[in-house]
Amino acid sequence: MKRIGILTAGGDTPALNATILGAVVQANHRRVEVFGFIKGFSSLLNPRVPHLRLNPLFCTIPELDGSRGGTMIGASRDYVDHQDGETIAQIVDRLRRLHIEGLICVGGDGTLNGMQALSDFLPTVLAPKTIDNDLGLNYRHEPDEWVRQACDNPPGHCYARSPSRTRFDLEHMVNYVTPGFATSVFVSAWGVQRIRTTAESHRRIAIVEVMGRNSGYLALGTAYGQPDIVLVPEHPLDVDRLVERVLEVYELQKNVVIVCAEGVVDACGNELGNETASTDPAGNKVLSGAAEALRQILIQRLGDSYFTAKRRNESARAAIFTRKVGHTQRGGRPILFDRFHGAQLGSQAVDLLLEGHVNGVSILMWNRQRGFHVGACSGNDFRDRWGLIHPRQMHLSFYDTEVLRPSRMGVDYLLPIFTNAIGPDDMEDVHRTLFCAGNLTQPFHSVNVDVNKRICFLE
């Protein structure tokens, strides 16, 4: 291969530039040109295919900085529909005219679906990214545990997991963790620590909502911020147990911090935060409002008198507040773990393409002997028997439903990722750059301005 393409699809993560850089550095070694496609699949859907050369003469362009969050080539939630043969043929023709011989897609489960449609026509490899940590398998045959039933509204099928009898070991996980997750947990855990002191001072109950869609990994990791309670989507909300635990903690310390995953579900399996019933362009449900729904439940169950009787607060409404970590947990500088492993996965994706993988996935594995190391599998390994890829959910054994916090197994899962996740330079960077006098006087210079000057089009 002489020329390959790379694109970043889906929501951004802090590790995307690190992954692109890892790919480009490896491509330089192997004398392969890399074209970056602008805004994910959107570029390929556009007849002009906006793109740029990431390594002219096998030298990485200076705008590609692996310690910068986001993606310098842009991202979007546009996807290729595998049933739309006409569009796929157009894309394949555009890639052929650009002499692209292989494609790396940096993305999650949705990206893998779009990429697979192209893999019948040219070699493709996925380099994983997602802050949600939901691309992967807890064990190899997990997709076989999905069952489906016909449903009327909307007409089609609905999918559910059959109860698992698998004996689970951390070493069985396929793609143990995805770059972007560690930085995201870093931000949310820090946010929880900061909320704590204000909740303590004002005798309040704070509900901090974190992202993650229907997967509880981000909420689980946020336990590093020492919240009193963590609520994950994999275990339906037990309101009685929650209220009981809130009261126990509040009686003791006059403040409670609850971390709530945006995808938490009630006893019937309905998402608390699915208030608008809308979807994004990739068809994902937009989840907003889980924390607020939880707040209403607590206001009702605790009542004003609980707070006023002992002059702890003026009302339940005043005492219970919500905050979303929101997009701050998806942006900004990646911490060491994500920079290092993102780059490794990007580099591995190039090697897989050059080794002739078609529909390959570059993955991060972990075992007790070797620690983290890169590996490879096929996109098909993630599909259930009907061909569908389901986002990975946190393994049930990672959570203790009695104490409403990570279980011993959950702790064991997190330790290898986070023990050395922050590098000395991560803190040094804050010290060096945040209160820099120039920040007050110079306008922000976006990398998009420089990248724009390099964009080329297919004539």
Q: Closest separation between CB of residue 150 and ligand F6P, Å?
A: 28
φ, ψ for residue 221 (rounded to 5)? -65, -30
Nearer to ligand F6P, 324 or 357 (CB): 324
What is the distance between the alpha carbons of residues 423 and 184, in angstroms, rounded to a whole number? 15
211 lines the binding site for ligand F6P (CB under 6 A): yes
Q: Closest separation between CB of residue 209 and ligand F6P, Å?
A: 10
239-247: long-range contacts at Cβ-Cβ below 8 A with a sequence spacing of 24 or more? 239/267, 239/297, 239/301, 241/401, 241/402, 241/404, 242/297, 242/298, 242/404, 243/298, 243/301, 243/302, 245/403, 245/404, 246/205, 246/298, 246/302, 247/302
Contacts of 170 (CB under 8 A, 6+ apart): 176, 366, 409, 412, 413
Q: Which of residues 47-66 bind ligand F6P (CB under 6 A)?
A: none
182 lines the binding site for ligand F6P (CB under 6 A): no
Q: CB–CB of 364/126 below 8 Å?
A: no
Among 5, 7, 11, 73, binds ligand F6P (CB under 6 A): 11
Catalytic residue among 132, 228, 351, 426: 132
Per-residue x/- marks for ligand F6P, 263-302, CB under 6 A?
A: -----------------x------x---------------
Residues in contact with ligand F6P, total (CB under 6 A)?
Answer: 11
38 lines the binding site for ligand F6P (CB under 6 A): no
Nearer to ligand F6P, 330 or 339 (CB): 330
Alpha-carbon distances of 337 from 187, 276, 393, rounded to whole Å: 14, 36, 22
Look-up: residue for tokens 């990007």? 346
Name the one range near ligand F6P by CB under 6 A: 87-95, 209-217, 229-237, 360-368.
209-217
Q: Is 191 exposed, middle or buried (0-12, 13-18, 19+ CB in 10 A)?
A: buried
132 lines the binding site for ligand F6P (CB under 6 A): yes
Q: Is 81 a catalytic residue?
A: no
Neighbours of 281 (CB within 10 A): 11
What is the distance between the alpha carbons of residues 36 and 52, in angstroms, rounded to a whole number? 5
Q: Which residue's C-beta sits nearest to ligand F6P? A: 211
What is the distance between the alpha carbons of residues 393 and 160, in angstroms, rounded to a whole number? 12
Q: Which of residues 232-261 bind ligand F6P (CB under 6 A)?
A: none
425 lines the binding site for ligand F6P (CB under 6 A): no
Nearer to ligand F6P, 327 or 408 (CB): 327
Q: Which of residues 78-117 bind ligand F6P (CB under 6 A)?
A: none
φ, ψ for residue 155 (rounded to 5)? -60, 135
Name the one range near ligand F6P by CB under 6 A: 65-73, 127-135, 372-380, 443-451.
127-135
Name the one range near ligand F6P by CB under 6 A: 24-32, 61-69, 129-137, 338-346.
129-137
DSSP string, 69-118: SS-TT--------TT-HHHHHHHHHHHHHTT--EEEEEE-HHHHHHHHHH
Among 129, 330, 390, 405, binds ligand F6P (CB under 6 A): 330
Name the one range near ligand F6P by CB under 6 A: 165-173, 207-215, 290-298, 359-367.
207-215
Name the one range near ligand F6P by CB under 6 A: 89-97, 208-216, 264-272, 299-307.
208-216
What is the distance between the alpha carbons of residues 382 and 392, in angstroms, rounded to a whole number? 9
Look-up: residue for tokens 């068809």? 283
Q: Closest separation between CB of residue 72 and ligand F6P, Å?
A: 18
- What are the residue numbers of the active site? 132
Can you give the binding site for ligand F6P, defined by CB under 6 A? 11, 130-132, 211-213, 262, 280, 287, 330
